[in-house]
Amino acid sequence: MDSSTNSLDDASADSSAEFPDRASMMEVRLQAQEDEITLLKSSLADALRKIRLHDQLLPLLKQQLIAVNPSAARVLNQVCCSDGCTSNRKLSTSSAIDGVRHPATRVRRNSEKLGNPERQRKRLDKKAASSANLLTRSPSLENRAKELVSNAGSPGSRRGTYSQGQSIKMFIRGRPITMYIPSNIQNYEDLKMEPPSERLELDWVYGYRGRDCRANLYFLPTGEAVYFTACVVVLYHINKRTQRHYRKHTDCVRCLTIHPDKVRVASGQTAGVEKDKPLQPCVHIWDSTTLVTLQQIGLGTFQRGIGSVAFSSADSGAFLCVIDDTNEHMLSVWDCNKGTKHAEVKSTNEAVFAVDFNPSDSTNIITCGKSHVYFWTLTAGQFMKKQGIFGKYKKPKFIQCFVFSLTGDVLTGDSEGNILTWGKSAADIKTLGKGAKETFQIMRQTRAHEGSVFTLCNLQGGALLSGGGKDRKIIRWSADLAPERECEIPENFGAVRTIADVDGEELLVGTTRNAILRGTFSDGFVAIVQGHLDEMWGLATHPSVNTFLTCGHDRQVCLWNTEEHKLDWCITLEEYGLCADFCPVGSVVSVGLSTGRWVVLDLLTREVVSEFTDGNEQLSVMRYSPDGSVLAVGSHDNFIYIYNVTESGRRYTRFGKCNGHSSFITHLDWSKDGKYIMSNSGDYEILYWDIAAGCKLLRNRFESKDREWASYTCVLGFHVMGVWLEGSDGTDINALCRSHGETMVAVADDFCKIHLFQYPCPKPKAPSHRYEGHGSHVTNVCFTHSDSHLLSIGGKDTCILQWKVMGSGGGGSREGLASVSSTSTSSPEPATS
């Protein structure tokens, strides 16, 4: 427990520290080298496959050439003989040294039999060109092989019916990928791509950012709790259990504060990047009633991000104080009404955790952080700094938080578990001389918690609340710092990160394990908001009810209810989960883990009913066949493992293994008849498998162009080719999901965006509706069973967004590629790209 608490303290302290630029650059270079190695391996495998195809094709070409022109047989024999003689000539040259000259003489006699060399050379060139023409008229070797096999018995046939118009190529990182056009599309060039008629509206946000942020939970007079996660500031009515969302930030929100009028809110974000375009950090001041942005502070001024913000109180909130995340942690004061900078100064190179105005004097500002408390005085646009003196008291590693008492003293909570009372001391002229000035010193030390004091909260009447790290305690103190009451929050929620007072009795508590608790000292606390703790990748929706499952690097597997907007249950596994899928019967779910192991969980008992291991590398996809009789497990060892499923998803037996990919499996889908699989790999390869025939690789991909798929999650394929932007590097799209009604496809990209496209979407530069909200790469998306909602999960932002599908997309299928028009709106209006 000590080590975990220390790591929490260190993580909290370093959240605002400078980034390890060199390590980041090395990681980027390493990733680029790994990508290049993957591409080289795939190119080599592709070349070897083409060589094998050539070897299989040559006899068929010879047979076809003989059928077309019998004289070609003699030419081929002469060419082969000439090649053999040439090699013999080379051999004779090396053997001549040893006195062996018979092979050279034999070559000379054979060449004389050909007659006129010049005429024979022209004849060979002509026949070679004719043979080459047979190859170039076919769009691919695979189709030519199919053509030759089918036409082997018809000597009069010279050209196949397959033309270049029946396939198109797309390029990813310079690698061509052939897409075969389905038979029902007669003229590919005439297809028109339009945005789908359906739109998305943010319905619910699951999660809270407590792991590395502080002072980010407040309670409004409207009955709403205000907090943030990812790029969204959430206003959650704790009694009505409804949410509203402020969504004007372009990257992760990092800090939050409430204006003295209890209406205006200021929120600061970190810097971001969108497709190599930098997004500048700023502070938004907005109205919590209307969600309208009133002021944008510091756009183009701040670097990296905003660490802390605070409104002044003595002048009714006329000024806003900001600490940014640069190395110098610039301290600046802004006019809230004009949006102009009033003053600025470098604060310190150490991490800064909190800033606030003196409630009775807006010219006095306090900052605290790693090993320091600074008292600032602002006069005529200039700052004067005085450092708090620890004197005889032990200097703590971190000053985590502070508040002002009713008497005007400053109370700080530190990493040693103490509450320190600071006050002004008169100038010590006797010791320091005539020019000595007043200082800020510790007047009193109060032992409060075991481990860090993460938060302090003032109550009406001068009472004080403190929240502990290691001991997870909330203690109520009297005005003279005598302990009155205490309680301990459950261990599974982590340490106390921040406290918000509701009515003097009821409290809201934000925790380091991304939960918000509601309760009192008497009745205890229950969670009203919960979320994951680390990066998420696994997402699956139930086939018949409104629930979904998530798993991630925090080793948690969570089942959520989309109607009640709550967590039904959560279990912790030994390894972290990366993928999941519900069995179509709906009673069990399979979860793929990071070690090659996968488990089957009973949804009612939460117990493991089956457990298997395939390889020793991470699993990337789990997918049941439409009838639930077969399970496909895609692994990073390049194989797809196939299992027969019986006893309603509780018994599994290995059926076979799909072997043919030259890189790790990324996505796979079953055909509607449950006999075939389409799969994608890390080297941008599309392969098809006949599972019923013993996991056989279908080498002629042309034969699969008209096959219908029960789901569509493969990011590479003709029907979703239009979702790729020009110049994509193959990793820009992490996941996609077609709706069950087959009218739209949702895309999760690497730039924190969700796109909604028309389905099918086979043409480049297809328009889409674009939605923002995540503050990290979007790792997965999935529609609910009725297509009423879309779920999206973020990577490092640990956030789940639930989107309501608005418009005419509720379950009908689309015939062909009929044009659609946008008739519904969402709030706020998404961008259309």
Q: Angle, nearest 10°, between helix axes 71-96 and 102-113?
A: 150
| Whether the predicted pLDDT of 103 surpasses 70 | no
CB-based contacts of 195, cutoff 8 Å, min separation 6: 756, 757, 758, 767, 768, 769, 820, 822, 832
CB-based contacts of 55, cutoff 8 Å, min separation 6: none
Q: Angle, nearest 10°, between helix axes 71-96 and 21-68?
A: 120
Distance between CA 400 and CA 387 in Å, rounded? Answer: 16
Distance between terminal CA atoms of the chain?
Answer: 50
Query: pLDDT for 552-573, tens place per residue?
Result: 999 999 999 999 999 999 999 9
Enter the tokens of residue 240.
Answer: 């009505």
Distance between CA 415 and CA 409 in Å, rounded? Answer: 20
Residues 408-416, mean pLDDT to the nearest whole number? 95
pLDDT at 190: 87
Beta carbons within 10 angstroms of residue 77's beta carbon: 10
pLDDT at 69: 61
CB-based contacts of 694, cutoff 8 Å, min separation 6: 656
Enter the tokens of residue 410.
Answer: 């400053």
Please indicate, yes or no, whether the overall pTM of this predicted structure exceeds 0.85: no
Provide φ and ψ at 358, rounded to 5°: -65, 125
Query: pLDDT for 612-641, tens place per residue?
Result: 999 999 999 999 999 999 999 999 999 999
Neighbour order of strands in the sheet with 418-425? 399-404, 410-414, 418-425, 439-447
Enter the tokens of residue 589.
Answer: 């779910």
pLDDT at 306: 96
Enter the tokens of residue 813.
Answer: 């299928």
Enter the tokens of residue 203.
Answer: 């319905």
Q: What percent of the chain has pLDDT over 70?
A: 79
How sure is the predictor about 51, in pLDDT bands with cuts at 50, 70 and 90? confident
| Whether the predicted pLDDT of 197 surpasses 50 | yes
Among candidate residues 319, 245, 316, 255, the one with its CA nearest the CA of residue 281: 255
pLDDT at 64: 63
How much is the mean pLDDT over the chain?
83
Structural contact between residues 363 and 379, judged by C-beta atoms closer than 8 angstroms? yes
| Whether the predicted pLDDT of 328 surpasses 70 | yes
CB-based contacts of 757, cutoff 8 Å, min separation 6: 195, 196, 720, 722, 723, 744, 745, 746, 747, 766, 768
Instruction: Tell me which of 261-275, 481-495, 547-561 is least confident.
Output: 261-275
CA 693, distance to chain mean position in Å, is 37
Q: Give just the sign of the alpha carbon dihedral 603, 607, 612, 613.
A: positive
C-alpha dist (Å) from residue 701 to 88, 146, 169, 178: 41, 11, 14, 9
Residues 345-355, mean pLDDT to the nearest whole number? 96
Provide φ and ψ at 431, rounded to 5°: -90, -45
Query: pLDDT for 746-798, tens place per residue?
Result: 999 999 999 999 999 999 989 999 999 999 999 999 999 999 999 999 999 99
Q: How many helices (H) and strands (E) does the chain have?
A: 7, 57
pLDDT at 156: 32
Neighbour order of strands in the sheet with 789-794? 199-206, 800-806, 789-794, 778-783
